[in-house]
A and B are shown apart, each in its own frame.
Chain A
Amino acid sequence: MSTRTIPSLLLAALVLLATPLLASAQQPVQGGELVFAAAARIDSLDPHTTSFLATRQIMNNIYDPLVRQKPGDPKIYPGLATAWKLSDDRRSYVFTLRKDVKFHDGTPFNAAAVCFTFDRIVNPGTQARVARGTIGPYKSCDVVDEYTAKVNFSEPYAPFLSLAALEVLAPISPTAARKYGADFSRNPVGTGPFMFKEWIPQQHAKFVRNPDYKWGSPVYKHQGPAYLDGFVWKEVPEHVTRMGSLRGGEAHIAEAPPATDYEALRRDRRFFVTGSTVQGAPLLMHLNYKKFPTSELAVRRAMQHAVDQDVISRALYKGMYEPTRDLLDPTTFGYDPSIKTMYAHDPGKARELLEAAGWKAGADGIRVKDGKRLELVFMMNFPFDAYTVGPLLQAQVREVGIDLQLRKEAMPNYLPSIHKGLHHAADSAWAYPDPQCLRQLYYAPFGATAFNYAHYDNPEVDKLLDEGAQEFDAARRAEIYKKVQKIVMTDAVSVPIRRLRGVFVGSSKVKDLAFSAVGFPLFHDTYIQK
């Protein structure tokens, strides 16, 4: 025995001795009702008609998608389907389904239910929104046999498997959907570990454990029924009350703490603070590629160097949201880590670039070229945090002689104004489990009438995005999207601001809170320590 093995043996003995202790400390506790204090209200409990990210957070607990993904892991895991196969013409997926699954209403889950679900999503009468956008070029669905479904697309649709892991495409009970019609949104029936009990608008929604559940996906720690008796999704819009109800013991978990509380909560041992990662595009400020003066590459690059994301993260978000210089969240498939070093915060460099492009400092510090002031209109979008970021960005770019004017646009005019190109800058973020979201932001054929706020128009990027949507080889597909990020960043089209993140504060008694690939809480493994 060498001398090196002795410490290892000692260590092993220690681990063995400690194991029963660890095991007893981590034995899941059965029972209890978890109270989740939510910031936003519920719009619909129908996964196909909801359009709120806030509501989608609940869905994974009442519905099971066909496949699953883990945060930051591009691998596809089984869900209600145990196996899947791409057809030779790459236009169909054949899903082999579990045979032991029942909906909450007792009806069996089978291929007919899968086909019913997908047909319902594309049926205009359903008025599906996010789900309709997610299912892409869906054409039809064939029931091959009781437990085999074949999903057909009109063109190859490479992102489909990772999208099928989203709750918005999860199968619902055809019997319940036919029975309730549009009211299915208030009488949801899925196959998930929790079943719907009641929903009182602006108060709470209650869910109870599904005692028959035994088909938990391998992404969970256990496959049987959930440990909790149920959970209450309580609407507490005011953040002081929300955090107070957590501190006072009325809630076990509260989401979205104010940034000012973040540090204190992290240091408080009675609570844990956890953040979920969100795949997709971070908060970005897009610069209008077609409108002077942001049509000038020098101006766009100067913007990149002028903005200091670190200061925004520290001063405004108190570290709760990380600064970013990426176009995709690092947890997203096809993320290119090299682009974040392309532009550093460097006001001197920004001034140099503008100077070289003929922009000379005017009397008030704002630069002028050919009698035109360097004024940019930033059309801010309310749902995100542009209202707070705006003034800080304004101050930062002013340092290099750019006058960023903050503009709020009236409701019916917002998108049309952006489509008409009345702006120089506009912000958006796109939570999405696939780099396909880059198509929403930079694809010229969608151009002026979609979410391509930058009015970006680069045939090379369009071609790559077309290829990416139809490329099934993971390595080649990742390369395509890396190229897209590189080109877009070389053109300096979007200034990254901060990463997206779901922030949750919980009582330290709550254990094993997990998250889906796009950052939604999963309660199946969760338990409350006595």
Chain B
Amino acid sequence: MLKFVVLRLGSMVPLLFGVSVAVFFMVHLLPGDPVLIILSGSDVTPKQIEQLRHELGLDLPIHQQYVHWVTKALHGDLGRSIHTRRPVLQAIVEQVGATLQLAFAALGVAVVAGVLIGTLAALRHNTWIDAASMAFAAFGISIPHFWLGLLLLFVFSFTLGWVPATGTEGLKRLVLPAVTLGLMYAAVIARLVRSGLLEVIRQDYIRTARAKGLAEPRVIFGHALKNCLIPVVTIVGLQFGHAMANTVIIETVFSRQGIGRLAITAILEKDFPVTQGVILFMSVMYLAANMLADVAYAYLDPRSREP
């Protein structure tokens, strides 16, 4: 098991290198110029423009900028925002809590709703309940987040006034964003649970359990479900990374704090140190979540530890 974890960690090194290169160069391909944003609307001399480009390091050859950036990043220094001049890491730390809260809440919604709906669909296979559940799954997967978010806002905030539309503080403000984001993952989990359960309940050991006279709930939740949850664990791990990335849209629609919004505003404002920092941070989170999922899978299913 330890060997597996170490190997898995080792494989992250080239990945991270690739990510850092991609992040750095992608950001520099964004159109527009930060100097313009900073100095627009003032009376400047060419010397001041030159000085600012120098201050921002924009006058260096691009490979040199990359080496500087990576060296500093390895020391935990992601640079400073060109607009707020605060350390990027500090801004990320300040915002990441709200994003994690949203991602976990969304996955909570996804797991609970997904397992329930999937189980229900499998137990009522080929009935209208099954059809309705799978229709819901198709809906959840295909509906765009921002649209669903606005729809929920329109109904529950602007019309009914049950929950506030904007802000981060309190559980009340978490409900709609978590449902919006969680629905898509719930749909995936529901399909997975349904097909897994349908397969498992035809197995011999389930027939044996029933033959022993075990109560049906015990059969389903104690024996059947347990075995089809293993792929769900992997999926949730993948979804976690995905959810972190999708917060970009949710945080903007619901005016929540978070690193997703930090990224999107940084992109729009050409704040390249922040853009790079956030994308790098998200990538590391994504890789870490995948690794944890793999380890959990290996732990739950020893067969998968074989190379």
Residues of A in contact with B (beta carbons under 8 Å apart) = 37, 40-41, 43-44, 49, 51-53, 127, 129-134, 136, 159, 163, 168, 182, 185, 200-204, 234-238, 240-241, 244-245, 247-250, 280, 380-383, 408-412, 414-415, 428-432, 436-437, 439-440, 446-447, 449-451
Residues from chain A with Cβ under 8 Å of B111 in the complex: none
Counting CB contacts under 8 A, is B18 at the interface?
no
| 1/0 contact string of B74-89 vs chain A (CB within 8 Å) | 0000000101110000
Whether B28 contacts A51 by the Cβ 8 Å rule is no
Whether B168 contacts A203 by the Cβ 8 Å rule is yes
21 contacts between A and B (CB under 8 A): A44-B84, A49-B85, A53-B41, A133-B48, A134-B43, A168-B42, A182-B85, A185-B85, A234-B255, A237-B265, A238-B146, A240-B150, A241-B150, A244-B157, A245-B165, A250-B165, A411-B30, A411-B33, A414-B31, A446-B45, A449-B50
Whether B150 contacts A136 by the Cβ 8 Å rule is no
Q: Which 3 A-B pairs have the closest CB atoms?
A: A133-B42, A414-B33, A382-B32
| 1/0 contact string of B20-33 vs chain A (CB within 8 Å) | 00000001111111
Whether A51 contacts B157 by the Cβ 8 Å rule is no
Whether B257 contacts A203 by the Cβ 8 Å rule is yes
In angstroms, how far is the closest chain B Cβ from the Cβ of A59? 13
**Complex CA distance for A451 and B37, rounded to whole angstroms:** 12
In angstroms, how far is the closest chain A Cβ from the Cβ of B36? 7
Counting CB contacts under 8 A, is B144 at the interface?
no
Q: Give the contacting residue for B42; candidates A129, A250, A380, A408; CB below 8 A.
A: A129
Tell me if B's interface is mostly helix, strand, loop or mixed: helix
Whether A412 contacts B28 by the Cβ 8 Å rule is yes
How many A-B pairs have beta carbons closer than 8 Å: the answer is: 180
Whether A248 contacts B165 by the Cβ 8 Å rule is yes
Q: Give the contacting residue for B84; candidates A43, A383, A446; CB below 8 A.
A: A43
Whether A415 contacts B29 by the Cβ 8 Å rule is no
Residues from chain B with Cβ under 8 Å of A383 in the complex: 32, 36-37, 40
Residues from chain A with Cβ under 8 Å of B262 in the complex: 202
Residues from chain A with Cβ under 8 Å of B272 in the complex: 411
**Complex CA distance for A35 and B157, rounded to whole angstroms:** 17
Number of interface residues of B (CB under 8 A): 61
Whether A414 contacts B83 by the Cβ 8 Å rule is no
Q: Give the contacting residue for A44; candidates B85, B252, B258; CB below 8 A.
A: B85
Knowing A203-B167, A410-B29, the reply to whether A238 touches B158 (Cβ < 8 A) is no
Residues from chain A with Cβ under 8 Å of B37 in the complex: 51, 383
Whether B265 contacts A41 by the Cβ 8 Å rule is yes
Smallest CB-CB separation from A53: which chain B residue?
B41
In angstroms, how far is the closest chain B Cβ from the Cβ of A137? 10
User: Which of A53, A133, A168 counts the most chain B CB atoms within 10 A?
Assistant: A133
Q: Give the contacting residue for A410; candidates B31, B48, B253; CB below 8 A.
A: B31
Smallest CB-CB separation from B94: which chain A residue?
A201
